[in-house]
Structure 1
């Protein structure tokens, strides 16, 4: 029981639908934050480009 019971309890807790939903929400928010940060960086780089003078 000591070797198998604790592993089963931990597995049950980790596989609970509430935990799966929370982890999925966390992954989605982290991904959105990453996209937003990348987009903001791209915009700031493009703004620097357009503020400079264009040459041939």
Structure 2
């Protein structure tokens, strides 16, 4: 079971999976984490992008 944002549902619904809207809940927060010594370029780019769009 996953609870993706409504705009992301089409990205994860496939192979017999369905998306059911959930109403009446408040917005949630998202946390992004990586191992402290992970130096893979893709991980570092993802963390940098997350920092750019983060809401303080």
TM-score by length of 2: 0.32
More helix by share: 1
